[in-house]
Amino acid sequence: MHLSISKYLLILLVLCSGAFAQDPVAETKPDPKPDQITLSNGDVLRGKIITLLEGKMKFESPALGELEIPLENITNIETAESVTIKNKAGEMLQRRITGLGDGKVKLGTAPTGGPEMSDLLQDDLVAINPPEKPAAIWSGAVAIGAYSFSGNTKRRGANASLDATRLTEADQINAAVNWDYAQDKETGDWELTQRRLAGQMQYDYFLGERSYLLVTTAAEGDRFKDIDLRYTAGAGYGYKLIKTEDFKLSVEAGLNYFHEDYHSPIASDGYLAARAAYNLEWNIYEKTKFLQKTVWLPSLDDKDDSYVRVVSKLRTSLTEAMFAEAVWEFDFDNTPSPGFNRKDNRYFLNVGWEF
């Protein structure tokens, strides 16, 4: 009995010692084959193509780090694996690039196999590994203001505004809503002295990096300008004259229909108008910027009918999302309701939040 147990223990020890005596073979993986580009000066770089966008390639070199190289300085490209290739038609191709030559991008099979593809004209190459399009989101700002006077002048009022933009690679939507309200008290009850609500929306379809087609509409009601409804709608063309990080200026031209209904028992007014507009955004300092939008609608039927609206904002950031702003709104209606002024100026001091 004891002999049998000893025999089994001896066998177990021999087996264990043999297992521990064996040197473990470390599992090694071969280094991935690098991408390769040849520069116009003859230098050859090996590493990883990150992306090619707008004629510039981002290339990761183990020795030199991340490089940005103009495509015009590259005479040959070879990728180790399939990459995403975007052509002028907007198609996305998954293939290896085996070289450049005779004005063509030579395409091969992917490492997993598959049929070869015909070469792509180099002029039709738009991007390599373009980033995924971000989901369209809304951004903008909401601002509010309020005031109260007592003593010789008894007045209270409030105002609010919302500006929102939805931007994609193909188009843009801009929307805005403005509201202001005020009451005065001389004797007795509070009396309404201001009630105005206005909204507008514009859709831009991009034709290129700077030019776009647009459709726009706006509506406004202002009890103390005798405006029951002022409505405009039209279409046109826009161009981004200046587009830098700190200064943006776009101009627009087109045709609009202009219509006004009044609270007073007078006939409505409507006409076809030309439309000229500009949008300006100037980052004056790190936390302060100036915004201005101007629209001019001169009638094509009567030279005396003309409407101008200018909205100017000086905005300063208080925190990452919160800001303070001074606003000046100017309206000029050359043919107002009888007994009303042609010019209106409104001034606001607001706090707001960007989203």
Q: How far is CA 284 from CA 65, 154, 239, 290, 291, in A?
A: 35, 38, 23, 7, 10
What's the pTM?
Answer: 0.66
d(CA 282, CA 233): 28
Is the confidence at residue 48, as pLDDT, over 80? yes
d(CA 280, CA 238): 13
Q: Where are the domains of the chain?
A: 35-128, 138-354
Hey, which CATH number is domain 138-354, 1.10.460.10, 2.40.160.40, 3.50.50.60, 2.60.40.1180?
Answer: 2.40.160.40
- For residue 25, the model assigns a pLDDT of 47
Q: Binning pLDDT at 50, 70 and 90, where does residue 3 land? A: very low
- For residue 115, the model assigns a pLDDT of 55
What is the mean predicted confidence (pLDDT) over 53-64?
91
d(CA 314, CA 166): 22
Of the listed ranges 47-61, 128-142, 211-225, the least confidently predicted one is 128-142
- For residue 83, the model assigns a pLDDT of 92
Please identify which residue in the block is written with the tokens 């190289």.
Answer: 69
Q: Binning pLDDT at 50, 70 and 90, where does residue 20 land? A: very low
What is the mean predicted confidence (pLDDT) over 121-132?
89
Is the confidence at residue 9, as pLDDT, over 60? no
Q: Binning pLDDT at 50, 70 and 90, where does residue 117 land? A: low
Q: Which residues pair with 199 in a beta bridge?
A: 177, 219
What is the mean predicted confidence (pLDDT) over 304-322?
95
Is the confidence at residue 26, as pLDDT, over 70? no
Is the confidence at residue 19, as pLDDT, over 50? no
Is the confidence at residue 58, as pLDDT, over 80? yes
Is the confidence at residue 4, as pLDDT, over 80? no
Longest CA–CA span in the chain (Å) reads 125
Q: Which residue has the higher pLDDT, 2 or 138?
A: 138
What is the mean predicted confidence (pLDDT) over 180-198?
91
Percent of the chain whose predicted confidence (pLDDT) is above 70: 88
What is the mean predicted confidence (pLDDT) over 153-178?
94
The mean pLDDT value of the chain amounts to: 88
- For residue 149, the model assigns a pLDDT of 87
Written in H, E and C, the secondary structure of the chain is: CHHHHHHHHHHHHHHHHHHHHCCCCCCCCCCCCCEEEEECCCCEEEEEEEEEECCEEEEEECCCEEEEEEHHHEEEEECCCCEEEEECCCCEEEEEEEEEECCEEEEECECCECCCCCCEEHHHEEEECCCCCCCCCEEEEEEEEEEEECCCCCEEEEEEEEEEEEECCCEEEEEEEEEEEEEECCCCCCEEEEEEEEEEEEEEEECCCCEEEEEEEEEEEEHHHCEEEEEEEEEEEEEEEEECCCEEEEEEEEEEEEEEEECCCCCCEEEEEEEEEEEEEEECCCCEEEEEEEEEEEECCCCCCEEEEEEEEEEEECCCCEEEEEEEEEEEECCCCCCCCCEEEEEEEEEEEEC
Token digits of residue 267: 């006939």
- For residue 24, the model assigns a pLDDT of 47
| Tens-digit pLDDT profile for residues 252-280 | 999 999 999 999 999 898 999 999 999 99
Residue 222's CB: how many other CB atoms inside 10 A?
Answer: 20
| Tens-digit pLDDT profile for residues 215-232 | 999 999 998 899 999 999
- For residue 45, the model assigns a pLDDT of 94
d(CA 79, CA 172): 36
Q: Which residues of 265-301 are buried (b: 16+ CB within 10 A; e: fewer)?
A: eeeebebebbbbbebbbeeeeeeebebbbbbbbbbee
Token digits of residue 87: 């052509």
What is the mean predicted confidence (pLDDT) over 194-209?
95
Q: For strands 125-128 and 138-149, give the pairing.
A: unpaired
Q: Binning pLDDT at 50, 70 and 90, where does residue 97 land? A: very high
Q: Which residue has the higher pLDDT, 160 or 151?
A: 160
| Tens-digit pLDDT profile for residues 325-352 | 999 999 999 999 999 999 999 999 999 9
- For residue 88, the model assigns a pLDDT of 87
What is the mean predicted confidence (pLDDT) over 300-308?
93
